Amino acid sequence: MTSDHPLLHITDQEDVFSFAYVLAVIGSAGYNYGKDYLDRDSEDLYVKHRASRTFIPMYKRLGLQVKCTYNFKQNSNNSIPFKLARKNYDDLRTSSEPHILVIVTVPRELRGCAEFGDDFLVLRNRAYWVSLKNLPPISDDNQANVTVYVPIGQEFTIESLRNLMTMIAKGEKP
């Protein structure tokens, strides 16, 4: 089977790419991660601190809901509007543990987003994060989705993940 006939639908390919991107950041930042067998709490992955005799974090893990989009445009508020399912919105805004939403942006065609060589792997495009903690509930009982605004200044990078993990170790939620 050639690459002109992929085995996965484009949305499945986007999911795989977004997880690879996020896992590359997590691994490069030096953290462990995990995944529950079933996603019931709008948590695709979690990033973990490793406690020791001299380091006991207040929160040991940061939950991540990972989404991928090719249909994005930065608005005048320097954010990316993203339509999120009501369940994900409610779960992320009311969680008792630290959670963030990570949006990985890709072009409509994934071709060229990953480049391989003898001694390198390049993953193109970007990821951004936002916390929905304490956002207001959706007032319309019939509303299935809500638009959240993901600041482009909050890129999901090695440095930002380390900062988030330091924050949660101190007991703060993003």
pLDDT tens sequence across 8-45: 887 888 888 899 999 999 999 999 999 988 878 899 99
| 155 neighbors 128 (Cβ within 8 angstroms) | yes
Q: How far apart are CA 21 and CA 92, in angstroms?
A: 21
The model carries a pTM of 0.90
Q: Where are the alpha helices (DSSP H) in the chain?
A: 10-29, 86-94, 158-169
pLDDT digits (tens, 9 = 90+) for 132-145: 998 999 999 899 99
- The closest alpha carbon to 93, from 130, 49, 58, 142, belongs to 130
pLDDT of 6 above 70: no
CA 105/CA 95 separation, integer angstroms: 25
DSSP one-letter code for 150:
E
Tens of pLDDT, residue by residue over 52-111, are 778 788 888 999 999 998 878 878 889 999 999 999 999 999 999 999 999 999 887 777
Which amino acid type is present at position 68? Answer: C
